[in-house]
A and B are shown apart, each in its own frame.
Chain A
Amino acid sequence: MLEVSGLRKVYEGRRVEALREVTFQVDAGELVCVIGPSGCGKTTLLRCVAGLMPPTAGSVKVAGAAVTGPPPRMAVVFQEYGRSLFPWMTVRQNVELPLKEKKVPAVRRNELVAGSLAAVGLADVADAHPWQLSGGMQQRVAIARAVAYEPQVLLMDEPFAAVDAQTRADLEDLILVLWRDMGVTTLFVTHDIDEAVYLGQRVIVLSGSPTVVMEDLKIDLPPERDQLTTRSLSRFADLRGHLYAQIQRARGDR
């Protein structure tokens, strides 16, 4: 579904080589997490995959088609969720706008908006403005917007970096439920090793600069995940420990 091959990105001007050579694939319906040390180019990778930025070399393909601009059936949840919502629109309008642009008929549109807001537990604040909500609620609006869009591929850039631990656990479970219900191919960027192991079917580890794929690790945990039981499995601890060592190495290489 998603093929990234030989991706290289050099920012002109400061001539920063954010990505050296990144290659990986994500199958249809898979949930893959990407981790790496801070500043290693995770956001850069995501923006290239989303078609928001042309790579210096290499290519990205979604469902076999080369990405040259934002693909029609892709949704992104940005790291700066507060800034990705329109403050002059209500929650409902924020979720609805992309559907209007997609020319979804009004009846279906209302269904999708109501359904996705209910799924993230925000049905009762549909008429509030984003700035009237807490950070975690704002992030759920961004997620609802992505879900209502019915994407083929969903990209998320450290979506829970700025919320408290409890909210974060709730949002992780929300993502798992939505992903399972929709079967959407998901690429989830995080810097949190636990989160990556808990959510992912696979974890891709990026090295520090010059950035390449250091490891592509299958997470062989039972498919049903639960905050308490999954996290207390000994296999969970093994995987976590292994990735921790990898990240330490990635840092040390720099």
Chain B
Amino acid sequence: MTGPETVRRKDVRATRTGRTALRVLTVAGVPALLVISWQLYSTVSENFYVPAPGRVARAFAETWFSERLLDDVLPSLARLLAGYALAAAAGVGLGVAIGLSPRLRAAAEPVLEFFRAIPPPVLVPLIMLLAGIGDGTKVLVIASGCVWPILLNTVEGVRALDEVLSDTCRMYGVRDLSRLRHLVLPGAGPQIMAGLRQALSIGIILMVISEMFASSSGLGFTIVLFQRGFQIPEMWSGILLLGLLGYVLALLLRRLERRVLSWHHGRGVGRA
């Protein structure tokens, strides 16, 4: 009598294994294909500037699992996070103030649009003149680029707060800080998060660019150094590291968002 049972259980296991295999294939398929074509290309062309993946991997291990991690990667990362945090604080703070006050908004909006239209990298030389070439400058460059999407998204989010919810707060005496905490920040949360996401990629770009100008350490600096010294596999490994870094940071941000905005995502699923 156990015959059909066993068969069914086996079936279940088989489909589960099959599904896992499919998942792995979907996730790893395209990257694997890319690496294979890269390998093929480098074998066929023997282009000096396109080393084989194996060589780049070796260079990666040798270059970055060394004191470079402490001397270049960590300081870069620290500056990025400092600039990003500064931008987040300023962007959300100012954004809330501007979003809540129609007067302030009317006065500030054209100026904001103008500043946003300036490509952030052109601020690098200017800030360098004003603030020297230390860590402070780089943090400032990163912050000055990251702040706009956060600020503008926050303003939008605060402006779009539900009127009925706002009236509810007024009726039940939810004012000032309480209102900020229970109505304004969570209500604008999805938009603020969208701003933070946009700002992250801008931050990484500016981290690299700020280190390509007058600098003696950092990821951007090191990559340029490798390029000038014709250490091509090392240069490639730096680019790879940057990609990985961006990927991991975006992943962390998404984790945070899922926790903070669980109500938002839950509601979205509920509606769909």
Contacts and interface: CB of A to CB of B under 8 A. Distances in A.
B164 A83 contact: yes
Given A87-B263, A88-B263, A131-B266, A97 B174 contact: yes
A86 B186 contact: yes
B106 to A, nearest CB: 17
B270 A132 contact: yes
A83 B266 contact: no
Contacts of A50: 171
B153 to A, nearest CB: 18
Nearest to B170: A70
A72 B173 contact: yes
A78 B170 CA distance: 13
Contact of A97 (B167, B172, B263, B267): B172
Contacts of B266: 129, 131-132
Given A129-B263, A129-B266, A131-B266, A86 B164 contact: no
Interface string B157-180: 000001011011011111100100
A74 B171 CA distance: 7
A69 to B, nearest CB: 8
A220 interface: no
Interface string A73-101: 01110101001101111000000011001
A76 B171 contact: yes
A149 interface: yes
A57 interface: no
Interface in B133-188: 162, 164-165, 167-168, 170-175, 178, 182-183, 186-187
A50 B183 CA distance: 20
Contact of B186 (A72, A75, A88, A149): A88
Nearest to B185: A88
Given A84-B168, A86-B186, A131 B173 contact: no
A102 interface: yes
Contact of B173 (A83, A102, A145): A102
Interface in A37-93: 47, 50, 52, 69-70, 72, 74-76, 78, 80, 83-84, 86-89
B189 interface: yes
Contacts of A76: 167-168, 171
Given A87-B267, A88-B186, A129-B263, A52 B174 contact: no
A244 to B, nearest CB: 31
A78 B167 contact: yes
A78 B263 contact: no
B270 A101 contact: no
Contacts of A83: 162, 164-165
A52 B178 contact: no
A52 B173 contact: no
Contact of A98 (B162, B165, B173): B173
A98 B186 contact: no
A44 B165 CA distance: 17
Interface in B12-64: none
B182 A97 contact: yes
Interface string A121-133: 0000000010110
Contacts of B189: 88
A85 to B, nearest CB: 8
Contacts of B162: 83
Interface in A196-221: none
A15 B173 CA distance: 31
Contacts of A97: 172, 174, 182
Nearest to B178: A101
A101 B174 contact: yes
A141 to B, nearest CB: 12
A21 to B, nearest CB: 25
A116 to B, nearest CB: 14
Contacts of A84: 164-165, 167-168
Contacts of B175: 101
A123 to B, nearest CB: 21
A80 B164 CA distance: 7
A132 B267 CA distance: 8
Contacts of B171: 50, 52, 70, 74-76
A86 B182 contact: yes
B174 to A, nearest CB: 5
A44 to B, nearest CB: 13
9 contacts: A52-B170, A76-B168, A78-B168, A83-B164, A84-B164, A86-B183, A88-B187, A101-B175, A129-B263
Interface of A: 47, 50, 52, 69-70, 72, 74-76, 78, 80, 83-84, 86-89, 97-98, 101-102, 129, 131-132, 145, 149
Closest 7 CB pairs of A and B: A98-B172, A83-B164, A88-B263, A88-B186, A131-B267, A101-B173, A84-B168
